[in-house]
Amino acid sequence: MPIVITLMISIALGLFVGQKIGSSHSPSPPLISLIENEKKPTLVSSDSQDSLITEEKRLPLPRLAHWLLDASPEEIALLWDHYSSRPGFDRQRTRLILSAWARHDLSSVITATKETKFDYDAWGATALIDPQTSLQWAMTSYWDTENKDFLRQVISTIATHHPGWLRANLDHFPEEWMKETALESLRVGLTTTPQEAIDFLTKHNQPIGHTLLLALGKEDPVAAFRLAAKLGNNDPFSPGSMPEKLIKSLAEEDPRLLDSILAETSSPSTRHLIEVEQFRHDIKTDPESALQHARELPNSYTRQDKIAALSRHFLESNPERAVNIFAQLLGKSRLLSTKSTHIITSESDVGIGGRTSPSQQLLKDLVSLNPENLINSTLPTVDNPDGGYRQVAKEWVEQDPDSFATWTSQQNNTEVYRQSAELLTYRLISDRKLAEAMTWAESGRDRGEGSSSQISYVYRHWHSREPEAATTWRQAATLDQSTQNRLNFIEAENQ
């Protein structure tokens, strides 16, 4: 919706509320600011009741809002009779008309919409204009019925537009479920300062979620982080570590918000997370400088996660470069394994538990997309004897052993073939494909050392599960005496 339309509707609703409530019930801060900053239109609407009624299409919102500002209750009632009989349903126009009408006559709004599809919105409109009267009427009308939805709608609307009134009257609510509804609505529709909301919810033993923490973090990042560290993983509204979610959300808002937390914390894991999140912002502004910075770092979780972030940045627009950047990481160092993260402040030590690092997750994703391209980029060279290919091979054989076996059979490098065949035997053993595992163990006999030990390793598993098949294979196989002696010893152990 265009900004002008939204602004006009907001101003209209704000004026409806302000004119009806006056000094006894102040509108919420957003409405007050609109009223203070925008003057009521001085020009009378060029529309008439007839022109709006004869409009063949949906009532235009700007014209409707302008006309309602000066319309009498009788005119609004006639417009409502026409609008409510038209096919279709538009909640925004419905609430705009009902709120304008309620400013003049609350009871007529409730009477005109009773037992219709509009009654739910009518209760919201009356609560917007006069919270106390609307709540009293709703309690009178529905207290003895099982349907409490209208009461909940009134309470929710009051929480959004008149939070101060609701907080002041919370202790007067006669039923506990009404208090719980009000507290939940106050938490979701944050229309007060974050610290006031936190103090209020804490007073009433209500949970504090990520949305409220983020609002506080925009004003006081350190205070928000200290509270998040105390709460740990206790976010009842969404899973995950509250400190980690706060850091990531603050980074999206403005990475500079994290500077004060970084200056205070003594936790390596917290510093790591903040530095990586700030680095993601650097990637968006200057990826080449970010890459140079990451390359110069010593091997660590921070370096790995930064390079992984860079690689993922290019993955969609330039997949080949994404693979090359990640291959450079693998070629320089072994990926550090899954780690247990602890975010620590001066007041608490919050264990978050083990997680897969971004670099490991990227490895999984790249292998699933194009494993052969990635592994060929990491094969050993004269300048880089390791190359990092084994890390890719481990992931590939886990994801798709059949395609990895095809690739392995095509390798001419003896050491690459031997190590790849070894990984295949381990995977096939875990899949209980023991005859296939032995075939791969045998295949390395003339292509490198270690084949004899591999044969013995596979045979131990095979003979313990399928002794007859294993023995039949041994009797037909051509084995040197040393290997034959090992297999005889395994058979003797299993008897």
Q: Predicted confidence band at 56 (pLDDT cuts at 50, 70, 90)?
A: low
Q: Per residue in 127-166, pLDDT tens?
A: 888 888 888 888 877 666 666 777 888 888 887 788 778 8
Q: Is the pLDDT of residue 217 over 70?
A: yes
DSSP label of 385: S
What are the pLDDT digits (tens) for 412-432? Answer: 988 899 889 999 999 999 999
Give the CA dihedral 43, 49, 51, 55, nearest 10 degrees: 120
> Are the C-beta atoms of residues 198 and 187 closer than 8 Å to each other?
no
**In this model, does residue 259 exceed pLDDT 80?**
yes
CB-CB contact of 128 with 102 (8 Å) = yes
CA–CA distances in Å: residue 446 to residues 231, 250, 366: 60, 58, 33
Q: How far apart are CA 76 and CA 172, in angstroms?
A: 35
Stated pTM of the model: 0.59
Tens-place pLDDT, residues 77-98: 988 888 888 776 678 888 888 9
Which value, to the nearest 10 degrees, does the dihedral of the CA atoms of residues 487, 491, 493, 495 take? 180
Q: Is the pLDDT of residue 486 over 70?
A: yes
Helix (H) or strand (E) holding 352: strand 349-355
Report which DSSP code applies to 256: G
Residue ranges covered by each domain of the chain: 284-399, 417-495
Measure the CA–CA gap between 143 and 131, rounded to whole angstroms: 17
